[in-house]
Amino acid sequence: MPYVPRLTAPATNDPLYYSNYNEYYETGWGMPNCTAYVYGRCAELMKCYPTRPPVAGDRDAELWWAYTQDGLSRGQTPRLGAIACYADGSFSGRGHVCVLERDNGDNTWLVSESALNGYTFRASHSIQSDGTYGYGNYIFQGFIYIPWEDGGKFKWWMARKLIYRKRGLIL
Residue 117 sits in a domain whose CATH number is 3.90.1720.10
Q: Give mean pLDDT, residues 65-90.
A: 88
Higher per-residue pLDDT: 47 or 19:
19
Kindly list the distances between the CA atom of residue 33 and the CA atoms of 59, 73, 149, 171, in Å, as whole numbers in the listed order. Answer: 9, 24, 26, 22
The CA distance from 133 to 67, in Å, is 21
Instruction: Kindly state whether residue 112 falls inside one of the protein's structural domains.
Output: yes
Average pLDDT score over residue span 105-123: 94
Contacts for 163 with CB less than 8 Å, ≥ 6 apart: 49
In a domain, 30, yes or no: yes
Q: Note the pTM of the prediction, 2 decimals.
A: 0.84
Residue 5 falls within a domain, yes or no? no
Distance (Å, whole) CA 50 – CA 114: 19
Give a yes or no: residue 3 inside a domain.
Answer: no
Contact at 8 Å (CB) between 98 and 113? yes
Q: What percent of the chain has pLDDT over 70?
A: 78
User: Is position 64 within any domain?
Assistant: yes
Q: Of 14, 3, 46, whose CA–CA distance to 114 is shortest?
A: 14
pLDDT, tens only, 150-159: 655 554 444 4
Give domain status of residue 1, yes or no.
Answer: no
Residue 7 falls inside a structural domain: no
Residue 72 has pLDDT above 50, yes or no: yes
Q: Find the domain containing 89 and state its range.
A: 23-166
Structural domains counted in the chain: 1
Provide the 3-class DSSP secondary structure of residue 52: coil
CA distances from 25 to 5, 31, 37, 130 (A): 23, 7, 9, 31
Mean pLDDT of 100-124: 94
Residue 4 lies in a domain: no
